[in-house]
Amino acid sequence: MINSPMFFMGLFITVTSIVLYSIVHRLPFNPFLGFRIGYSYLSRDLWVKLNKVAALVFMSVGLVTTVLSVIIADEVIVLEVFLGLIIVSLVVLINYSSKAAELELMKIPEHREVGKVEVLTPFYPSIAHIVITLVPYVLGITFIALNAHSLPDSVAIHFTSSGAPDRFMPKTQALILMTFTPTFVIGLTLFFYYLGVKKPEIYYRPWLRGKLRIFVTFIYTFLSLTSPLASIAMVDTVWFNIYGEHLTLLTHLMMALIIVIIAQIIYFIAYITKHYLKYKSQTRII
């Protein structure tokens, strides 16, 4: 459907990818715009090359999502395909970037290599990160499974700011959505944990030399908090559909998590901007 959220999501990704492809030759190294994987900061040529490839890949994702949203009425299917394409695209781009970076490193003279490339050790997530990521997910999925039989045939899946339901879905589709959403969130979180351990180079930022572990901890903390947020939202949805009211405790927990996440994002942006501007003032950005 042309008026569906997935249609506009696909259109947005397509347009932004076209814009990125068009301006990448004029886009300097920066922490906010472009394909900002660590490998891309090795050289100007690699930055342009990887951004052009990423733009083409995500342009394809956007076009496929836009077309599917028009020809398939079931938004859950379109959402699942879209998220699947995002994961596949990230895996493909990371592997491609790794190989391209290896070729680029061969061009760096041996006497310059040590000074140009920072040697990174694996970024292991803390026990707290793992617990915060996994425990709410397991509890949430268990709650949904135990109460699935009590859900009505038409399930409220979205609510207004006042808590009133404003969107409904058949029970089977709703259950798929309520289990798929937190599963995708936790899968993405674990994927970035895995990358931090096996491919720590993707987190490299030249303006954070010596401070990358702090940067990665920010990312891990943000990702770990999205898991309980997604799980609590799904549990609250199930509870409302069975008992006709929201659990006050869950509502307060969600609001607290949202506030913490927003505060962390603001601090994170300020932290990155501060170090980027300092780096920019001391170095010629290419």
Same domain for 242 and 152: yes
Indicate whether 172 and 54 sit together in one domain: no
Q: How confident is the model at residue 117 (pLDDT cuts 50, 70, 90)?
A: low
Query: What's the pLDDT at 209?
Result: 83
Amino acid 247 reads L
List beta partners, residue 155.
Answer: 169
Strand pairing partners for 115? none
Q: Are residues 104 and 143 in the same domain?
A: no
pLDDT exceeds 90 at position 148: yes
| Domain count across the chain | 2
Examine the pLDDT at 58 and tell me if it is beyond 90. yes
Domain end residue (candidates: 117, 139, 169): 117
Q: Report which of residues 99 and 113 the model is more confident about.
A: 99
The full length of the chain comes to 286
Are 105 and 123 found together in one domain? no
Provide the mean pLDDT of the chain. 87
Element (H, E) at 190: helix 171-198
123 and 108 housed in the same domain: no
Domain of 221 in residue numbering reads as 118-286
Same domain, 155 and 64: no
**pLDDT category, 33, cuts 50, 70, 90?**
confident
Map tokens 């079931």 to a residue.
74
117, 136, 170 - which closes a domain: 117
Average of pLDDT values for 61-68?
94
What confidence score (pLDDT) does residue 151 get?
Answer: 93
In this prediction, residues 205-230 reach a mean pLDDT of: 91
Cα 128 to Cα 84, 226, 229: the distances in Å are 28, 14, 16
Percentage of residues in the chain having pLDDT higher than 90? 51
Q: How far apart are CA 192 and CA 200, in angstroms?
A: 10
The answer to whether residues 109 and 161 belong to one domain is: no
Q: What is the pLDDT of residue 121?
A: 85
146 pLDDT higher than 60: yes
pLDDT of residue 264: 92
What's residue 160's pLDDT?
85
